[in-house]
């Protein structure tokens, strides 16, 4: 009977130790679960902040590029207008040079004709 009593006491001690260990593990699980929830909330908050910051930076960059694009478009319009004016002035200068050459040659022919008439 003493063996049975000893076995029963050992079983109660083991059960008590297991129960105590179970309470300890349950507390650890609860603590880890709480830490995980806090970490998850912190991570979500940080991610949201990063996304908002990124969105703000993208908006600023888009606006800057829109302004630069408008400036470049304006510069292109001005350059095209200047090129057109230059091409028109070149055409005008070419026409004037042709007319001057024509009138100079015409004047030379007239002088030569007058000279040949006066010699005869």
Q: What whole-number percentage of the chain has pLDDT above 90?
A: 62
Could you identify the residue written with the tokens 């694009």? 69
Three-state secondary structure along 39-107?
Answer: HHHHHHHHHHHHHHHHHHHHHHHHHHHHHHHHHHHHHHHHHHHHHHHHHHHHHHHHHHHHHHHHHHHHH
Tens digit of each residue's pLDDT (9 = 90 or more) over 22-81: 999 999 999 999 999 999 999 999 999 999 999 999 999 999 999 999 999 999 999 999
Taking the C-alpha atoms of residue 108 and residue 118, their distance in angstroms, rounded to an integer, is 15
pLDDT band for 120, please (50, 70, 90 cuts).
low
Strand, helix or coil for residue 34: helix
Predicted confidence (pLDDT) at residue 1 exceeds the cutoff of 70: no
Predicted confidence (pLDDT) at residue 103 exceeds the cutoff of 80: no
């Amino acid at each position: 009977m003493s063996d049975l009593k000893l076995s029963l006491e050992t079983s109660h001690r083991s059960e008590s130790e297991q129960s105590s260990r179970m309470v300890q593990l349950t507390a650890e699980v609860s603590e880890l679960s709480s830490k995980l929830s806090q970490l998850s909330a912190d991570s979500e908050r940080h991610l949201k902040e990063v996304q908002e910051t990124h969105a703000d930076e993208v908006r600023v960059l888009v606006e800057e590029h829109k302004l630069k694009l408008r400036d470049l478009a304006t510069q292109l319009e001005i350059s095209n207008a200047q090129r057109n004016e230059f091409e028109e002035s070149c055409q005008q200068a070419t026409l004037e040079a042709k007319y001057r050459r024509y009138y100079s040659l015409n004047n030379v022919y007239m002088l030569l004709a007058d000279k040949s008439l006066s010699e005869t």
